[in-house]
Amino acid sequence: MDFAATKALFALPEGITYLDGNSLGPLPRTAAARVARTIEAEWGAQLITAWNGAGWMAQPRRLGDRIGRLIGAEPGSVVVGDTLSLKVYQALAAALDLRPERKVILSDSGNFPTDLYMAEGLIRSRGGTHRLVTVAPEDVAGAIGAETAVVMLTEVDYRTGRKHDMAAITARAHDAGALVIWDLAHSAGALPVDLAGAGADFAAGCTYKYLNGGPGAPAFIYVAPRHADRIAPALSGWLGHAAPFDFAPTYRPGAGIERMRVGTPAVLQSAALEAALDIWEGVDMGALRARSIALSERFIAGVEAACPGLGLASPRDPEARGSQVSFRFSEGYAAMQALIARGVIGDFRAPDIMRFGITPLYLGEADIDRAVAVLADVITRDLWKDPAYQTRAAVT
């Protein structure tokens, strides 16, 4: 895999070293033209007939299969649409239906909050008969029990980059009769994922981080083929109906993953995502992972040598990390502002975490070295105390 070649496929701003692709991936060079074509040659010229003529209606499945290849999903088991919060909600509702006698949703304190919030809302809608239990990440496996209906986890922690052992936890859950939902927000495009191999039941993820689908790009959902035809969708929208254009008065779920569709797909966002996925066609996920680890190790070594005041917040074992590196620093917020003002973009998570996404598609050794040098400068010269460096904060 030639990562110098993939870097050339992104429109990266001059003078910027971008280590925030774990929050919003950068712009693929072909995306603007792809979206413009969809707007002008499809929406503009074909109007309503583009739903079939330009393939808009089938696109969520097509894009789903392309993502499926990157996460070890069976063909036909992934569909894109909506947002990650909603896809988690769908998966969770389906999982609870499949384990009606069990009343516990087990998660961990490292899960991204929206997953927990959506679970709260679902539990309330269902009359409060279930409980959401969150434990420390390292205690998840031991907390799975006879009451556990579903284990709902984000594989890679958004703050620290700590990675769960997907295969082991899935096996443990299945041994106990529970199901597992994997949130792949920080996994898809970040590292090899093998949903089918791990025997995962459900998964969901977003496409605007490591996959580079653009701001507001649609989410995706995976349902294991053994479950897909057995679940009754909670969000039973017309495009998940077996025959949407019959306009029948009652819902009849579509075959398999089709029933996880809800409403009209976001066609313009999908065009940008399609351009982003083109880049992934040539990428070997094993090679990407090796490169991610090499760059991460280089970054950690560089920062630890230059900035002894910063503490590594990510696991030291590269196999236990996703594709980000986080450091704790009490003045991390101000330091990140100063870093951004100097053209090195990472982000900050309260109370003290400075996050850096390591994305081999467009980052090389020189970028890592520059980030280390600028960070060292900011820290050793206390630039974060200087109001001139207090730029606006990066979010998400």
So which residues are the catalytic ones?
112, 183, 208-209, 355
Please identify which residue in 234, 283, 287, 294 interacts with a copy of itself, judged by CB under 8 A.
Answer: 234
3-class state of residue 58 by DSSP: coil
Q: Contact between 236 and a copy of itself (CB under 8 A)?
A: yes
Residues 336-375 close enough to bind a copy of itself by CB under 8 A: 340, 345, 347, 349-350
Stretch that binds a copy of itself, among 76-84, 135-143, 144-152, 281-289 (CB under 8 A): 76-84
Q: What is the DSSP string of 130-197?
A: SEEEEE-GGGHHHH--TTEEEEEEESB-TTT-BB--HHHHHHHHHHTT-EEEEE-TTTTTTS---HHH
* 39/306 with CB nearer a copy of itself: 39
Of residues 272-301, those binding a copy of itself (CB under 8 A): 272
Q: Rounded to whole angstroms, how far apart are CA atoms 179 and 380?
A: 49
| Contact with a copy of itself (CB under 8 A) among 48, 281, 316, 319 | 48
Q: Is 53 among the residues that bind a copy of itself (CB under 8 A)?
A: yes
Contact (Cβ atoms closer than 8 angstroms) between residue 42 and residue 312: no
13 binds a copy of itself (CB under 8 A): yes
Single residue of 5, 8, 32, 146 touching a copy of itself by CB under 8 A: 32
Q: In the structure encoding, which two tokens stand for residue 395, read together?
A: 């979010």
CB 77 → a copy of itself: shortest distance, Å?
21
The distance of closest approach from Cβ of residue 377 to a copy of itself in the complex, given in angstroms and rounded to an integer, is 20
> Residue 158: which of 389, 343, 355 has the closest Cα?
355
Q: How far is CA 281 from CA 64, 74, 194, 284, in A?
A: 14, 17, 17, 9
Contact between 47 and a copy of itself by CB under 8 A: the answer reads: yes
Q: Which stretch binds a copy of itself (CB under 8 A): 85-93, 163-171, 194-202, 300-308?
A: 85-93
Structure tokens at 42: 């499809």
> Do residues 303 and 338 make contact, with C-beta atoms less than 8 angstroms apart?
no
Return the number of the residue (169 or 341) whose C-beta is nearest a copy of itself: 341
Window 239-268: contact mask with a copy of itself (x via CB under 8 A):
x-x---xxxxxxx----------xxxxxxx
Answer for which of 148, 269, 292, 296 binds a copy of itself (CB under 8 A) is 269
Find where tokens 């389906």 sit.
Answer: 94
